[in-house]
């Protein structure tokens, strides 16, 4: 198994990020790279170009879902060549560290009014799809002119609800992943690539 374990002696981590070990500590279980930093950035450039083309003449309001989407939002927004606005909401889904229950609590609501706006939800990862499904209903009630979703990652075969995802970065296997905004108990968000999580899941 290619789990990375923190060691002060390691000089060559052998993966695509030379400073990876600065971000780890003893006991961390960061698995193999699922999506590399280069692949993430290339795909985000493509997504930005597609969004730029689709939203000509109707600048989008990007709505990021905290905390996981913060890094994706940062890169994606810079890849969109349009005068867009950015807002965030924070949700917390009840459940364990690695599994969602689908019951969502709004921790931080939006500051910008959605009425008649072209809203593009920027989401880190769609697993069961229950969080996004709840959010879509919540946001549609505010009567935007349009509502679409841009999800960086979609877990293959896991969705328990039908979702209309306008933009998808990567479809990945169903295993738990970390990095590039995604966490386990608030750790690993600052890894620049998406990795498998080799620690215990419940
Ligand atoms: P869903 O409601 O099952 O689609 O789960 C959505 C939310 O759970 C995501 O927005 C993430 O915050 C979190 N999540 C789901 N899968 C993962 C994962 O593999 N790593 C980190 N967070 C995840
Ligand atoms: Mg999320």
184-200: per-residue pLDDT in tens? 999 999 999 999 999 88
Give me the sign of the Cα torsion angle 168, 171, 176, 179.
negative
| 127 catalytic per annotation | yes
Phi then psi dihedrals of residue 191, to 5 deg: -70, 135
Q: How far is the CA of 100 from the centre of ligand 1 (A)?
A: 7
Q: Which ligand number lies closest to the CA of residue 66?
A: 2
Which residue in this structure is represented by tokens 């006991």? 27
Which of 182, 188, 189 to probe ligand 1 with, by most ligand atoms within 8 A of CB?
182
Residues 119-140: pLDDT tens digits? 999 999 999 998 999 999 999 9
pLDDT on residue 120: 98
- Pocket test residue of 92, 125, 154, 160 for ligand 1, highest count of atoms within 8 A of CB: 125
130 lines ligand 1 (CB under 6 A): yes
Contact 88, 122 (CB under 8 A): no
CATH code for residues 47-178? 3.40.50.2020
Spans of the chain below 70 pLDDT:
1-21, 94-102, 202
Half-sphere exposure of 172 (CA within 13 A, CB side): 23
Structural contact between residues 182 and 68, judged by C-beta atoms closer than 8 angstroms = yes
pLDDT of residue 133: 92
C-alpha distances (whole Å) from 80 to each of 33, 50, 119, 202 are 26, 9, 14, 38
**CA 128 to ligand 1 centroid distance, Å:** 8
Q: Which of 28, 87, 124, 127 is catalytic?
A: 127
Give the largest Cα separation in the chain, rounded.
Answer: 57
Q: Shortest CA distance to 32 belongs to which of 190, 194, 169?
A: 194
């Amino acid at each position: 198994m290619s789990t990375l374990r923190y060691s002060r002696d390691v000089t060559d981590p052998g993966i695509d990020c030379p400073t990876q070990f600065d971000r780890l500590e003893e006991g961390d279980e960061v698995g193999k790279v699922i999506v590399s930093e280069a692949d993430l950035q290339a795909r985000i450039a493509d997504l930005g170009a597609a969004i730029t083309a689709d939203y000509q003449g109707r600048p989008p309001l990007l709505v990021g879902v905290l905390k996981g989407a913060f890094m994706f939002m940062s890169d994606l927004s810079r890849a969109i060549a349009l005068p867009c606005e950015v807002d965030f909401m924070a949700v917390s889904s009840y459940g364990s560290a690695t599994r969602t229950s689908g019951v969502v609590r709004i921790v931080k609501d939006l500051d910008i009014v959605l009425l008649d706006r072209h809203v593009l939800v920027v989401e880190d990862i769609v697993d069961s799809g229950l969080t996004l499904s709840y959010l879509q209903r919540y946001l549609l009630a505010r009567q935007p002119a349009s509502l679409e979703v841009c999800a960086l990652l979609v877990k293959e075969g896991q969705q328990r609800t039908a979702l209309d995802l306008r933009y998808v970065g990567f479809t990945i296997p169903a295993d738990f992943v970390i990095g590039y905004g995604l966490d386990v108990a608030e750790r690993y968000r600052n890894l620049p690539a998406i990795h498998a999580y080799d620690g215990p899941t419940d």
